[in-house]
Structure 1
């Protein structure tokens, strides 16, 4: 690329404002890292821009704010020597150039002021050490001390300095290497990959919040299996998701084997990633079979079995989410429900009855479409006939869901007869009989014995009440 090409990366007027501010303060400044990398890769215009100043990043941020229209608020983080402001939909982060030294127990470095070279040396990868000058005398000049542009062209992830030191100092960089390789479809250079394997146990000093942030980015990539394969290959996965590692391998007894559920899971995650960007549905795909390891048994008549693995897996989801500091809210409950119900449509596909579909809609509620998407992704057979047959069966289930829902309205089901009406009709105080009648009405609707309508449900209520010895009040 020519210098002019790099200047085109700085066409946003905010860069000239930063240049003017740095000139006013008589300090050097550069745009560095992801913005430069993504411009060269033509990944679209970044909304987060990192500016490094050889001097005070906080002073530079405040001067930039003074020069910008509206004087946007500067958020200052004195502990880290950084400042942030937003302008025109772009978030600018300013930091002073620094050099770092690390201790064995923490990824938080001791920091002191440094040169641009010091700052580029501390960067995680050569492709993130690229810097564009914002100084008036050489505006747009590229500073590439580690041949990062060549690595971008060769699609390589490589550390600027000794990878053993880079990864031992800050073990989060190991996950970042795998995340970038997955997002960009790059290869991790051999020495860097070997260094991750050597330092894998160091990941234990990283907080779960940081780990999950990287996992989410891997899961949201185009081909997540690439990242999880690398996590497995480098030995990081047992420290993060041992439940997945437990799925690996094929056991054989009396000539009978089962599929490798680890690699099957990665196929399912890739399949679902082609159809949805929903992070939590992708988590459900990743965890849908985790109950198979603890429930695996061999039966001489049945062969390998995984009885109740969906139920066990759904219980494991809570423990896993709690351990990793994932949200223990409706997101977790959604993943639990998807894991618990992950086999229901598969069983249903062999015999698509109205009552079974009604129960599926009732139990899945608003998530029935997500459940169907997960189950279709679970088809990983390489046999074209079987593949087409399974998908055709699932289409029958989908068609039946539409038909039954239009007729019976059982999604987000509310009983046509309320508990209050049952109490009033039979002159009851709160009691188990009310629950018996309500459950009987629900079951009658789901089984198709009565339509999901008030008149039919009211009549059924009177019959059920009489059957258990209750007498309706006369009106």
Structure 2
């Protein structure tokens, strides 16, 4: 009731406008769910008996800012300012869509009742409505009870619901994670039996749902649901492949469960270090070990995964491209996976200045994310080892800060730029200038900054030796 009172200036005026014109209008779906949970934002969804043309005409009386981008699907949008607040509104005509088996895109049909509109929605907790004229609560499919019990069910049978729109199976995982709800057994069974139906959904929509799931506060249960039901096999098979059989000698930990724990810890670090939810950080945490199944070898009494970082970077590049992730996301995730073992080469020894510079140089713009991934990747139950690793990484970060203050590590460049190199060596732009640049960058990494005149002598000596 408090939430309804908060939005009363908007819904009361909107309700009167539609009712006086002879139409029904309801607050519906996620807006009702979030109001009941006390987390309603400024995006409000409504459904109405009015046609799209009638809705558009009425909303133009309600606010000067409207748009009809979704009109062919019955949706008219509007922006309403009231009492210092700004509300984004969408009003959709009652729907009674028809689906064909080969597509999740419905043949749009408009309905004539609120109950008929609600039964076509994904879950009962999203199939509740409030009549704006009478304030009557409409809940024909038990959404309020399910919301109270923390259960995800479908208004119709899950088989019908998922056959109509297979993407709802991924939404089940996202809502389970976001709301902390349990998915009902019949829904889980239908997800297992109908997993292959997700193949008719575009990769862009699948990627959007996966991203939405990963960006929730606690995505672990939702991710695990996708693996348990076989849905992940259809679009991210490298993830369930991490369920490597642990041999009788327990020569390696459960890589899949380890990856979920790393994801949990990466999210905790993200929050602790003051970052917003970051899809690159979370994809890298979840998939950092996807190269292990291909590289697992048994060597006497132990198991090895040599070069799984390199193999994993290649696998993740191919998979994320297939899922239509933006190029910058693909490159960043691959780079983090390629570098995620770098710290362990030094964790038991001391870091030279050159090693610190090289670590920073290779990480580049991904240094902060690499800090989080490396820290999150420590899941050992051995407290002594965990403490040793944590202290070693704290020392590394301290060394990076110390050297950065002295040498501007965040902008690590060679002693001379390309123009200076060409002047000193009498070269024109070309491959040899790039080779000289790479040599000076490595010299800078290994020895630290030197005066410009000394850098010129070092460059000339290298050039003379190279051409001897």
Normalising by structure 1, report the TM-score.
Answer: 0.91
Pairing 1:17–2:10 present:
no
- Residue by residue, what CA displacement relative to the aligned partner does 1:183-227 show, whole Å, maximum 9, x if unpaired? 010101121221211111111111111111111111111221111
Deviation at 1:274, TM superposition (A): 1.3
Secondary structure (helix, strand or coil) at the match of 1:203 reads helix
Task: Name the structure 2 match of 1:387.
Answer: 386
Contact 2:66 2:76 in 1 (8 A): no
Contact 2:415 2:444 in 1 (8 A): no
Compared with structure 1, are the counterparts of its residues 419 and 270 closer, same or farther at alpha carbon in structure 2 (3 Å cutoff)?
Answer: same
Deviation at 1:251, TM superposition (A): 4.5
- Residue by residue, what CA displacement relative to the aligned partner does 1:280-325 show, whole Å, maximum 9, x if unpaired? 1111112211111212222237x32222211111112221122111
67, 78, 90: which one aligns with 1:74: 67
Compared with structure 1, are the counterparts of its residues 461 and 76 closer, same or farther at alpha carbon in structure 2 (3 Å cutoff)?
Answer: closer
1:431-470 equivalence runs, <5 A = 433-448=432-447, 450-468=448-466
1:208-223 equivalence runs, <5 A = 208-223=203-218
Contact 2:321 2:330 in 1 (8 A): no
Distance in 2 between the 1:418 and 1:188 partners? 59
- Residue by residue, what CA displacement relative to the aligned partner does 1:35-79 show, whole Å, maximum 9, x if unpaired? 110111112x323221100131442243122232xx113224332
Task: Name the structure 1 match of 2:273.
Answer: none
Compared with structure 1, are the counterparts of its residues 446 and 58 closer, same or farther at alpha carbon in structure 2 (3 Å cutoff)?
Answer: same
Task: Name the structure 1 match of 2:357.
Answer: 358
Task: Name the structure 1 match of 2:274.
Answer: none
Task: Name the structure 2 match of 1:345.
Answer: 343
Contact 1:82 1:94 in 2 (8 A): yes
- Residue by residue, what CA displacement relative to the aligned partner does 1:321-367 show, whole Å, maximum 9, x if unpaired? 2211111x222211111111111123222222211111001111122
Contact 1:345 1:372 in 2 (8 A): no
Task: Name the structure 2 match of 1:473.
Answer: none
- Residue by residue, what CA displacement relative to the aligned partner does 1:76-106 show, whole Å, maximum 9, x if unpaired? 4332122112223322111111212322111
1:301-320 equivalence runs, <5 A = 303-320=302-319
Deviation at 1:154, TM superposition (A): 0.7
Task: Name the structure 2 match of 1:104.
Answer: 101
Task: Name the structure 2 match of 1:185.
Answer: 180
Secondary structure (helix, strand or coil) at the match of 2:65 reads coil
Contact 2:59 2:66 in 1 (8 A): no
Deviation at 1:455, TM superposition (A): 3.6
Secondary structure (helix, strand or coil) at the match of 1:304 reads strand
1:53-64 equivalence runs, <5 A = 53-64=48-59
Compared with structure 1, are the counterparts of its residues 125 and 433 closer, same or farther at alpha carbon in structure 2 (3 Å cutoff)?
Answer: closer
Task: Name the structure 1 match of 2:155.
Answer: 160
- Residue by residue, what CA displacement relative to the aligned partner does 1:5-55 show, whole Å, maximum 9, x if unpaired? 5742632x2212311220232100001011110111112x32322110013
Pairing 1:257–2:254 present:
no
Distance in 1 between the 2:293 and 2:12 partners? 58
Distance in 1 between the 2:2 and 2:409 partners? 60
Distance in 2 between the 1:425 and 1:453 partners? 15
Task: Name the structure 2 match of 1:273.
Answer: 267
Normalising by structure 2, report the TM-score.
Answer: 0.92
Compared with structure 1, are the counterparts of its residues 413 and 159 closer, same or farther at alpha carbon in structure 2 (3 Å cutoff)?
Answer: same
Compared with structure 1, are the counterparts of its residues 408 and 15 closer, same or farther at alpha carbon in structure 2 (3 Å cutoff)?
Answer: same
Secondary structure (helix, strand or coil) at the match of 1:440 reads helix
Secondary structure (helix, strand or coil) at the match of 2:72 reads coil
Distance in 2 between the 1:458 and 1:58 partners? 75
Show structure 2 runs of 5+ residues with no match: 271-276
Secondary structure (helix, strand or coil) at the match of 1:458 reads helix
RMSD: 2.0
Pairing 1:225–2:220 present:
yes
